[in-house]
Structures are given as structure tokens and as C-alpha cells.
Chain A
Amino acid sequence: MKNIFILFVVLSFVPLASCSKFLDQKAYGVLTEDDLTTVEQIENSVISAYAGIGNDEINRPLSLWGYGNVRADDAYKGGADENDNDLLHWLEICSPSVGNVGMWYNDVFWYRNYIVISRINSALRALDNVSEGQMPLKTTRIAEMRFLRGHIHFIQKIIFKHIPFITEDMSPDDISNESNVALSSDSVWLKIAEDFEFAYNNLPVVQPEIGRANKYAAAAYLAKTYLYKAYRQDDMHNVTSIDMGELQKVIDLADEVIASPYRLENDFAFNFLPGQYENGPEALFSVQYSMDDGTTYGRLNMGCALTTPTPGGDFNKPSQDLVNAFKTVGGLPDFDNYSTADLSETDKVDPRLFHTVAIPGKPYKYTDVNFEANQTRNHTMYGLYSSLKENVDPASPFYVKTGPWYANSKNWIVLRYADVLLMKAEALIETGRHNEALPLINQIRSRAQFSTQFIAFAAGNLAITTYQDGTNCNWTEDFARKALRWERRLEMAMEGCRFFDLVRWGIADQVMNMYYANEKDAHTYYRNAYFEKNKFEYCAIPVEQINWSKGLYKQNFGY
């Protein structure tokens, strides 16, 4: 008994002796930012920022089909009915309801963009901890990160106008005290331009890994930034002036891209096909998606998972107005009468129609299987067309079921060489050099003309020619502007940029109200739609964010 007692007393003191360490519970399977010190780890932080731009979400994708196509005259929302993804419905018809509290769409989009920005800034902080000697690619990586930061802020800017610009030196407390109006709208453009400028000055012309941004991608995005910035807006979103110096920068930067190895694809279709076609000569910068990569479903383009013609999706449906816009007369757009009658079997059209829009009874996405009317969920509301560019052949291995949706692993092209040609053409026209814009636009039309190898079924309907001054048109500044804007619509249709083009040009209200008038008989949900100028050019700053900012954030004009 006595021995047991001694043993017991000794045992009782063991815990007392080890107390000081007992509460040092380890955290299993986690790191801290301080752990990121090796070059490999810093490179991984950069990867995670790239992953951010590919981490798309079905309802509010960075491909901007909602904000860029549906809100414009290119697409109907689609889906089951108006109530399916309803904020997009209110945006589509410019309903005052978009400003109502409880509209979850904008708030989540806003937040998700800052998630990507925080990853980028986190990588920039990690890069700051290493010397050029330890990591020779340090400056290149910083430049890549600033490219991505410019990219996401750009998207945020064209949707919300007044946004906080977040940099790597800002602590969470600094960010909490940064208002969305701390910088003027133009100063935010300048900040975005600075990021792309840094990228442009420091990125190599070729990156060994194709997914990384390079100098030409930065030049193109910088050109795009100056193009948007050049159209000065007042606080009520009126375009008040156009800065010629900045348009000249657009021209100079575009020239650098034009002088690069990048070029137009031989066939328009190659831009919108998976696998071997990805990262082609026209793709200046793409989001790299993949499959069979050890993640649950593959790193797929979830941003387009709602736009497949399936029961879980069928959103982003090309509008009749867009389809009609492809009609040609004498090989040129039917500028004045395109919408007087809907496209018929006998109409002549621009070949790009069949690359952009799936039409019932015609082969779907270059396959021998026809797209069928019964793949549409609600044809009385949203018509029978479906969007092709972002989609793939459902029989191909790139088409993957993810829960109730289907997504694909095809890259999403952020910046296309054709876009750069059109940016330059636009800058030339607005600076009074419209004659120089003519060959650029014709270059795009010629390529379209020869993009027929996958659409043989439509051969009888195709008719497209280039503009020939004095022969089939009178290439004045006004005509050039009209031709450029039309060309942009056709070439970039359903690629998420139409609405922002209209706002940049200051004509969103005219175009949209005309569109509503044309469409409201066939699509009755447009009957009360009205684009209120000085309001609907931008989305409301999410009320939730104004709340969390403790009143620091200011609402956009008009809301």
C-alpha cells in the first residue's frame, strides 16, 4: 500500500511538471503566412492567385455573361423563368428592383472579386520577402501579379464604377477604412493602368509556361484600360469628353501587339474549341482550365456551367436582335433594316452567326448532331437559340457533369488579338483617323469570311465582304464609327463585353430602349423595361457592403 501511495504522489506531479507545454496544442495541416519563405512556396502563392481568376461561380462568372451579355441587347437571361436567378432578370429589364436590399447577386460578385485580389496581394507580400538573388524571377512574378490585380479591378470597375482599389501594403484595418470613393473614378482607372504598365515594363515577351501573362498580354490590357479611361464620365455616368492622348496610347500599345507573333487565327472557330486549339496565336491571355487533374471534377470553367442547353442551365440565350444583326445585304451588315424581320432560312448572314449561336435544326458546335428546340427550357420567354462560343461538344471528353450542371475544361480567353485590332480601330476613328481603321476592320471581316470549314451546313446562307470605300460604302467618320461598333458586336458577341462597350460609348440608354421597343412584343417581360439614363450604366454598390463599411461607402449616382 505504501508503495502505491508513493507512486501515486509521484504520478500526480507529472501533470504539474508538464503544464507549461500542455496548452501548446499543435495546429495540424495548416500554415501561416510566415511559413512561406522558400522560393517554391512563394511560387505556389503566385499559383494560388492564378487559381483565383479561374475559380468561377455559376451565377456570377468572371466571363460576365450576366453583366455583359444579358444586360445588353445580345442575350436573354434564360433558365426556367424570370424568377430563376432573379437579379439578372431585374438587371435585364432595368427594373428599379435591382437596388432592393436582399439582392444577393451583386454582393457575392463584389466579394468574390476581392477574394481573388486578396490572393494576389498575399502573393505580392510573399514576393516582397525574397531577394532577386534568391529568386531571379521575382520581378517577373510581381509583374504577373500586378497584371492579375489589374484584371480583377478592371472587371470590378466596369460593373460598379466606384470601388476601393486594394494593394498589397494595405492591412485589413487599412482596407476597412478605405472608402469606395477615396479615389475618383478616373484615379481608379489610373491605378489599374499603373498595374498593367508595371506588368508591361517587366514581363518577358514569352513565358515558358503558357498560362502566365506576358508583355503582349499586358500591352493589350493596358490598351484596353486606356480605351475605357479615355471616355471621361462625370459622376452621373455621362460621357463628357474623350482624351485624345490616351487614345494615342491605345494605338501605340496595339501596334506593339500587332508587331508581335500574335495574330488572328486562320479560322474564327479555333478560338472556341478545346484541347489542341487552346492557347492559339490569337489568345493573348486565357484562363487555363483543366480536367482529370486530381480535383473533384477537374478545374472546370464553372462560369459557363449555366449556359449549356440542359435542364440545370439554358441561361445566356442569344437574343433575336443579336441573331438579326448578323444578317447581311451585299455582304455588309443590314444596318438600317436588320430588325424589321426575324432571320429566315433564306437570309444571307455573316458566318460568325453559326459560330456564336446554336439554332434549332442546325448542327450543334461543329458536330453532326443537331441542336433541338426541346433543349430549351422556356421558349415562350427566352426563344430557342443557345450560346456556342463558351460551350463544347457534349460528346467530347471536355464536357463534365458537376452536380446538377455540366461544365467544360476549355480555356476562357480574356484577351483576343481581334479585340486589340478593334480597340485600335476605335481609337483611330475617335482621333479622326478613320481611314486607317478601315484595313483593321476588313482584316477581321476577311478572317470571318474564310471561317467556314466547320460550318459547311450553312454554306448557302453565307455572304460577307469587306468594306470598300466608294464601292460598297462611303467611309466617312460617322460610317466608320457605325461599322466599327457593328463589327465589335458581331466579332465579340456573347463574350461578355457588349454592355460595357455601350456604356463606354455613352449610348447604352439609346440602344437598350430601342432594343426593348423591338423585343417587347415577342418577349413580354420587356414590356415595362426602361433604361434610365444616369443610373443603369452601373450596378448599385451592394447595400451589404455599405453596411459593413459602417457608412464609409457611398452609393452610385441614381440609386
Chain B
Amino acid sequence: MPVKKTDGDWSSVTPAMNDRDNPARILYANKDNPYTYWRLFGNAFIDVQPIKNLHIKSDFGLDYGNYYQRVLTHSYTGRLGVDQPVSSKMQQSHWTKWAWTNTATYNLSIKKNRMDFLVGMEMDKQLDVSFAAEKQTYDEEDPDYMFPSVGTGEAFATGSATGYTLLSFFGKINYVYDDRYLASVTFRRDGSSRFGKDNRYANFPAFSAGWRISHENFMDAVSDIVSDLKLRVAWGQTGNQEIDNLANRTILVSNYVGDAGAGVNTGTAYDIEGKDGGLLPSGYQLQQRANDDLKWETTTQTNVGLDFGFLNQSLYGTFEYYFKQTDDILIRPPYLGAIGEGGDQWVNGASMQNQGLELSLGYRGKTASGFSFDISGNISGYRNKITKLPESVISAYGGNGTTDIILGRAINTFYGYRADGLFRSQEEVDMYADQPGKSVGRIRYEDNGDGVINEDDRVWLGNPHPDFEFGLNINLEWYGFDLTIFFQGMYGNLVYNNTKATTDFWAVSESKMNHGTRLLDAFDPETNPTSDIPSISFTNENSEGRVSSYYIEPGSYMKLRMVQLGYSLPLSIIKKADIKKVRFYVSGQNLLTIKSKKFTGLDPENPNLSYPLSTSLTFGVNLSF
């Protein structure tokens, strides 16, 4: 489609094309729709010390956001010359969030004992308000004129508010003896308005203990070698309430306006009198069912860690093991269609565990010639497993709801058909199980042995969690020059590369749209018999958009996230100008990605993004006065 016609107007689709608007026109029209966003935040506190070492503090923090936009819809002669209504919509949103924290802290030191006490409470409240007013039809299609007050057509107004509150009480005791033995006990009681009345509050205790071995007398002999050695253990519980503000409530609303724009009407108004227009009576729509039993999702974590530094901290690092159990995971599961409208309900679903190891190691130093370096790397891995699956959410995490369930597997494990290569000859097609849509050049799906390919042939296809993740940080300095290099990556994870639907098939995604060049290498029994890309087909008779291992690819990658080279002018030069520091630098982000050859998309980190992560180069000057 050309962007414009010869007469200068935007072009639009012809009957044979898909029903899409001219994207250049949409982008261009959007230039008249700027928005402003103001955010104001800060806090004020009073801290009084009635007696020595006792601090009573009251802190009030406020975070306010304000968003305003005017959205203009211009007339546009499109298909068959019919215009869309010209409209102007003014919309505004406010987000107000405040937190009031009151704490009392007391420090106590007796000889080698040091203790910190903290008790406190915090109130959090957020209220979001938004509204919009729209009017259609304007005498002049001029952005300076198009304000709803002067519109002469239909008017629409919307407005809504939503909020939540949190209330927490907490206390903490820290104890340190001689900098060698450390312990702390925390207790929190958190309440959230998002849960059922009887389950708003939950208790989250935690404790930790540490032993700084390097401070023991018996380590004195090796203090030249072991500069720091600390063993720590911790156990604690935390809660999660990141769900909708009204997660526990019934949501029954009047939906007069409906939404026919997406080709589906959902409204509650009806022309019962058959008068063809005017104001209509309107009913209600159930959008969510209440759940009075909804409660906090709780994670219980146990850590054991060792921090170490050798040779005057030039070799340093930590080693850590954790075991994390998450119970009552908050989820709004899909539901049986026959329940109809408002089948949605937030529930406490499965439990899962994560076990992980993390190791980080660094080496730093400075040579006599003035060259200093700090090289550190980390590697970590975890294993995830669903450990409990209540009946009510049995099919909410994948599987078929009966024989194949997620229990015992990692969360988000892929479930679907195993693609077993292509049918390469008619003989192979004829010999194979009854697979609707099979033919030469099409994907062969693995059979469970019953001779028919159907939903019973779905299997667990792979784990999206990495075997391990890693990072490498290099910092070098030499006289005024500094160089930073940062690598990061992960290994062993599988990703679902949905872009293959457009790069490998003509008809799986919408045909008559742009497709990837991989299609050019599609299988053909004569000209390209070795290709693993299915032959080009005008229709998707084999249903190759189904979830299958064809789309599952290794997601391992290593990225050179950043390289930065800087040069700071010598002090001797700049101090005359009363400047503390002048540094010039050049920095590059996302410079290099190493990925698996088997990954056919652009970026394994974001496999379903059609755009690659952009590489950027920055030049800059830092000045400090």
C-alpha cells in the first residue's frame, strides 16, 4: 500500500486487502495528541529524642501524579469514502498515594553488647481517579478549535475511582555482640484492603543470625590471608498482595456504553421499546465474583550464606543457598465457559518451591604503575517446582486438567504437541497416524500411539527456567582513563518464540500481511528437500499455530550490556578553574548478543518482540563543581 495517493491524500486499503488502517496516517494523526504528566513526591518528618538514644519519628510521604491528554480523531476518507466522526476527547487522571510511618527506635550499648529496638506502624493509602469527556463533530478541524465545549455532535463522559489501603505494625530487635555474633528478630503484621474481611491481616515473622568468623581470636594467625569471613543464616516470611484493588469483591457494574469498537458488544443497555435510539434502560454486568476467603500469598524463605574476603579484600565474594516456599499463590484462574459472565474470581492457588545457589567472586587490585582493576562475576541457579495444586485451579497452570497436571513440574512449563519434523514424502504421510491436515511439507505431530492426533497427544514440552544465570563486571582505571565492561546472560532456558507464526508460515498468522524471510527457505520436495521450515501453504489446514515444540527454542544468551570508556582531566589542570572533576566518556549499550543458533528470532530475552533491543551509543561530559 502506498503511503499517499497522487493527490496527496492518505491512501487506504483496497477491497482485496486486509482491513487495516494506513499506519503512517495513524502515526501522523497522533502528533496532535501530546500528553503531560506531572509527578510530585516528597516527605516530611519529625524526629524527637525524649531520652538519649530513643528516637520517635513520624514520617509522612506523599506521591502525586497527574496525567492530562487531549485525543483528537481526524476525519479521514478511507474505504468506500466514508468518514469517521471527528472527535475530541479530554482526559485526566490523578494518582494520590501517601504513607505515614511512625516508629520508635532505641539503641543500647553495654560493653560489647549492642542492641537496636524498633517498633512502628505504617499506613498506606492510594486513590486513583480518572475522567474523560468526549464530543464529536466540529465546525473546523483545527486542533486549536477542537475542544469538547464547541463540539456539536454526540457527547460521551467517563469517570472512575479506585483505591486500596495497607496497614502494618512491625517490630525489630537487632543484637550484636562484639561484632562477632549478630542476630535479629523481626515481626510484622500486615493488613491489606484487598483481602476478604477475615483474612486481611497476616503475620510475617523473620529472624537472622550471623557469625563473623574472621573476628575470632583463633583467626588472628591467618588474618593476612583471610580478611573477612562471615557465616549467616536467615529465615523469614513475606507476603504478597499485588492483585486488583477489588480482588475480593463482587464486581457488578452498569455498562451502558459497551464497546462495539472491537467488533463485540458487551453493554447492558437495550432498546426494549423499539424506538431505535435515544436514552435506553440499562442493566448490570457481573464482572467478578467475590471471595471472602482470599488471603495473603506467603513466601517462606531460608537462606544460608557465607561472605568472604581474602588478601586484604582483594579477592572477595559470597556464596549463598536459599530455599523458598511460596504458598497460596494469588491467581484468577480461567473457568468453565458454562459459568458465563462473571466467572472470574481471585483465589489462592498452587504452592511452589524454589531452591537456589548463588556465587559471586571478585578480584581487585592496583599495580605499581597506577593501573587499578576490579573484576567480579556471579553465577546463580535455581530449581522451581509446583508442590501443591488445589482441585479448583488444577487446569489453571497448563496441562489437560485430568491426567496431565503441573504438580511436580516447574511453573510455566510448556504444554502442547511435540513437532516431530516434517512429512517429507507422500509415503510418510500415508504411513502416519490420522492427523487432520497432514500432507507433504507439513509438521508431523508426535502420536501417543493411538493412531489419531488429537488433544490427547499433548505433552509437557520444556522448562522456561534457566539452568543458571551469570554476570561479569570489569572495571579498569589507568591514570585518567577508566573502562567499564558488563556482560550478562543466562543458559539453559527455553522460550516460546511466537514470531515464528509470521516468519515460518504464510497462513498461521494473518495472511496478506508482512512475513519473515525464513519463509523463502521453506521446504519443497524437489527444490529444497532438506529444509526444516514447513512448505508454504495458502491455508493452515494442519493447524500449525497450535502450541507445539516447533515454537520452542533455546533462550540462552550472553549480552554485552555496556562498555564505557572515560577520561578525566588531571586535577592539576582543572583546579585552577575551580572545578572538581571533568570527565569525558563514550558509552555503548547492548553492543553484542550471543545466542543459540537454534533461536530463530531477534532477541531471546524478549522472544516475542518484533523489534530488536536497540543498540545505543552515548557521548558525554561529567562536570563536578
Roughly how many angstroms separate A11 CA and B253 CA in the complex, as a whole number? 39
- Which residues of chain A come closer than 8 Å to B156, judged between CB atoms? 294, 296
- Which residues of chain B come closer than 8 Å to A394, judged between CB atoms? 80, 82
Q: Contact: A55 with B267, CB < 8 Å?
A: yes
The reply to whether the CB of B200 lies closer than 8 angstroms to some CB of chain A is: yes
Q: Contact: A47 with B264, CB < 8 Å?
A: no
- Which residues of chain A come closer than 8 Å to B21, judged between CB atoms? 404
Known contacts A49-B283, A102-B545, A178 near B58 by CB under 8 Å: no
| Least CB distance, A51 to chain B, in whole angstroms | 4
Among B283, B342, B400, B436, point to the contact of A47 (Cβ < 8 A).
Answer: B283
- Which residues of chain A come closer than 8 Å to B336, judged between CB atoms? 175-176, 545, 548-549
Q: Contact: B123 with A15, CB < 8 Å?
A: yes
Known contacts A56-B265, A80-B512, A296-B260, A543 near B455 by CB under 8 Å: yes
Q: Contact: A292 with B269, CB < 8 Å?
A: no
The reply to whether the CB of A45 lies closer than 8 angstroms to some CB of chain B is: yes
Roughly how many angstroms separate A481 CA and B333 CA in the complex, as a whole number? 52
The CB with the most chain B CB atoms within 10 A, among A22, A59, A116, A166, is that of: A22
| Least CB distance, A282 to chain B, in whole angstroms | 15
For the side of the interface on B, what is the size category? 35 or more
Total contacts A-B at CB 8 Å: 364
- Which residues of chain B come closer than 8 Å to A549, judged between CB atoms? 336, 401
Known contacts A114-B337, A291-B277, A546-B455, A95 near B252 by CB under 8 Å: no
- Which residues of chain B come closer than 8 Å to A46, judged between CB atoms? 283
The reply to whether the CB of B193 lies closer than 8 angstroms to some CB of chain A is: yes
The reply to whether the CB of B539 lies closer than 8 angstroms to some CB of chain A is: yes
Among A16, A50, A175, point to the contact of B338 (Cβ < 8 A).
Answer: A175
| Least CB distance, B193 to chain A, in whole angstroms | 4
| Least CB distance, B586 to chain A, in whole angstroms | 47
Q: Contact: A211 with B340, CB < 8 Å?
A: no
Give the residue name and chain of the A residue nearest to B547 (CB). A102
The reply to whether the CB of A162 lies closer than 8 angstroms to some CB of chain B is: no
The reply to whether the CB of A416 lies closer than 8 angstroms to some CB of chain B is: no
Binary CB contact string for chain A from 366 to 379 against chain B (1 if under 8 A, 0 otherwise): 00000000111110
Interface hits, A53-105 → B, CB 8 Å: 54-59, 80-84, 86, 89-90, 95-103
| Least CB distance, A493 to chain B, in whole angstroms | 24
- Which residues of chain B come closer than 8 Å to A313, judged between CB atoms? 19
- Which residues of chain B come closer than 8 Å to A297, judged between CB atoms? 260-261
Roughly how many angstroms separate A411 CA and B273 CA in the complex, as a whole number? 12
| Least CB distance, B416 to chain A, in whole angstroms | 8
Interface hits, A151-171 → B, CB 8 Å: 164, 166
- Which residues of chain B come closer than 8 Å to A27, judged between CB atoms? 245-246, 249, 251
The reply to whether the CB of B143 lies closer than 8 angstroms to some CB of chain A is: no
Q: Contact: A48 with B161, CB < 8 Å?
A: no
The CB with the most chain B CB atoms within 10 A, among A90, A111, A295, is that of: A295
Among B200, B246, B257, point to the contact of A30 (Cβ < 8 A).
Answer: B246
The reply to whether the CB of A117 lies closer than 8 angstroms to some CB of chain B is: yes
- Which residues of chain B come closer than 8 Å to A305, judged between CB atoms? 263
Roughly how many angstroms separate A82 CA and B506 CA in the complex, as a whole number? 12
The reply to whether the CB of B27 lies closer than 8 angstroms to some CB of chain A is: no
- Which residues of chain A come closer than 8 Å to B164, judged between CB atoms? 25
The reply to whether the CB of A119 lies closer than 8 angstroms to some CB of chain B is: yes
Q: Contact: A100 with B283, CB < 8 Å?
A: no
Q: Contact: A118 with B249, CB < 8 Å?
A: no
- Which residues of chain A come closer than 8 Å to B46, judged between CB atoms? 4, 8
Roughly how many angstroms separate A32 CA and B439 CA in the complex, as a whole number? 54
Binary CB contact string for chain A from 104 to 131 against chain B (1 if under 8 A, 0 otherwise): 0001001100111111011100000000
The reply to whether the CB of A474 lies closer than 8 angstroms to some CB of chain B is: no
The reply to whether the CB of A459 lies closer than 8 angstroms to some CB of chain B is: no
The reply to whether the CB of A209 lies closer than 8 angstroms to some CB of chain B is: yes
Roughly how many angstroms separate A95 CA and B436 CA in the complex, as a whole number? 8
Q: Contact: A97 with B436, CB < 8 Å?
A: yes
Give the residue name and chain of the A residue nearest to B14 (CB). A311
| Least CB distance, B281 to chain A, in whole angstroms | 5
Give the residue name and chain of the B residue nearest to A376 (CB). B15
The reply to whether the CB of A521 lies closer than 8 angstroms to some CB of chain B is: no
| Least CB distance, B448 to chain A, in whole angstroms | 14
- Number of residues in A with C-beta < 8 Å to the partner? 127
Among A83, A311, A551, point to the contact of B511 (Cβ < 8 A).
Answer: A83
The reply to whether the CB of B52 lies closer than 8 angstroms to some CB of chain A is: no
| Least CB distance, B248 to chain A, in whole angstroms | 10
Among A99, A118, A164, A300, point to the contact of B260 (Cβ < 8 A).
Answer: A300
Roughly how many angstroms separate A81 CA and B267 CA in the complex, as a whole number? 32
Roughly how many angstroms separate A122 CA and B266 CA in the complex, as a whole number? 16
Known contacts A97-B541, A548-B395, A55 near B547 by CB under 8 Å: no
The reply to whether the CB of B613 lies closer than 8 angstroms to some CB of chain A is: no
Among A8, A35, A115, A547, point to the contact of B252 (Cβ < 8 A).
Answer: A35
- Which residues of chain B come closer than 8 Å to A261, judged between CB atoms? none
Among A82, A377, A403, point to the contact of B15 (Cβ < 8 A).
Answer: A377
- Which residues of chain B come closer than 8 Å to A374, judged between CB atoms? 15
- Which residues of chain B come closer than 8 Å to A122, judged between CB atoms? 284, 286, 341
Known contacts A45-B283, A99-B454, A548-B395, A57 near B15 by CB under 8 Å: no
Q: Contact: A311 with B338, CB < 8 Å?
A: no
| Least CB distance, A520 to chain B, in whole angstroms | 16
Among B266, B340, B402, point to the contact of A55 (Cβ < 8 A).
Answer: B266
Give the residue name and chain of the A residue nearest to B250 (CB). A32
Known contacts A32-B252, A211-B272, A15 near B102 by CB under 8 Å: yes
The reply to whether the CB of B160 lies closer than 8 angstroms to some CB of chain A is: yes
Roughly how many angstroms separate A209 CA and B270 CA in the complex, as a whole number? 12
The reply to whether the CB of A279 lies closer than 8 angstroms to some CB of chain B is: yes
Roughly how many angstroms separate A401 CA and B164 CA in the complex, as a whole number? 40
Known contacts A22-B167, A47-B269, A275-B276, A296 near B257 by CB under 8 Å: yes
Roughly how many angstroms separate A18 CA and B277 CA in the complex, as a whole number? 50
Binary CB contact string for chain A from 382 to 420 against chain B (1 if under 8 A, 0 otherwise): 000000000000100000011111110101000000000
The reply to whether the CB of A491 lies closer than 8 angstroms to some CB of chain B is: no
The reply to whether the CB of B437 lies closer than 8 angstroms to some CB of chain A is: yes
Roughly how many angstroms separate A218 CA and B542 CA in the complex, as a whole number? 44
- Which residues of chain A come closer than 8 Å to B282, judged between CB atoms? 44, 47-48, 51
Give the residue name and chain of the A residue nearest to B163 (CB). A25
Q: Contact: A23 with B546, CB < 8 Å?
A: no
Among B191, B270, B338, B547, point to the contact of A299 (Cβ < 8 A).
Answer: B270
- Which residues of chain B come closer than 8 Å to A534, judged between CB atoms? none
Binary CB contact string for chain B from 428 to 464 against chain A (1 if under 8 A, 0 otherwise): 0000000011000000000000000011001000000
| Least CB distance, A125 to chain B, in whole angstroms | 11
| Least CB distance, A411 to chain B, in whole angstroms | 8
Interface hits, A504-533 → B, CB 8 Å: none
- Which residues of chain B come closer than 8 Å to A360, judged between CB atoms? none
The CB with the most chain A CB atoms within 10 A, among B83, B156, B250, is that of: B250
Q: Contact: B401 with A36, CB < 8 Å?
A: no
The reply to whether the CB of B18 lies closer than 8 angstroms to some CB of chain A is: yes
- Which residues of chain A come closer than 8 Å to B507, judged between CB atoms? 83, 86
Roughly how many angstroms separate A528 CA and B476 CA in the complex, as a whole number? 70
The reply to whether the CB of A336 lies closer than 8 angstroms to some CB of chain B is: no
The reply to whether the CB of A12 lies closer than 8 angstroms to some CB of chain B is: yes
Q: Contact: B280 with A290, CB < 8 Å?
A: yes
Q: Contact: B16 with A80, CB < 8 Å?
A: yes
Q: Contact: B79 with A403, CB < 8 Å?
A: no
| Least CB distance, B57 to chain A, in whole angstroms | 9
- Which residues of chain B come closer than 8 Å to A84, judged between CB atoms? 18, 510-511
Among B50, B262, B340, B512, point to the contact of A117 (Cβ < 8 A).
Answer: B340
Q: Jot down 19 A-B pairs with beta carbons below 8 A, ordered by A.
A: A11-B58, A31-B252, A48-B284, A56-B264, A81-B538, A89-B539, A119-B285, A122-B284, A211-B274, A293-B277, A294-B156, A295-B269, A295-B280, A296-B261, A299-B265, A302-B263, A311-B80, A403-B263, A549-B401
- Identify 19 new A-B residue pairs, CB closer than 8 A, beyond the known A47-B269, A83-B511: A12-B58, A22-B165, A23-B192, A29-B160, A33-B252, A57-B265, A81-B512, A97-B543, A100-B546, A118-B342, A122-B341, A211-B272, A290-B271, A296-B261, A302-B265, A312-B19, A312-B79, A401-B82, A403-B260
Q: Which 3 A-B pairs have the closest CB atoms?
A: A48-B283, A118-B340, A312-B19
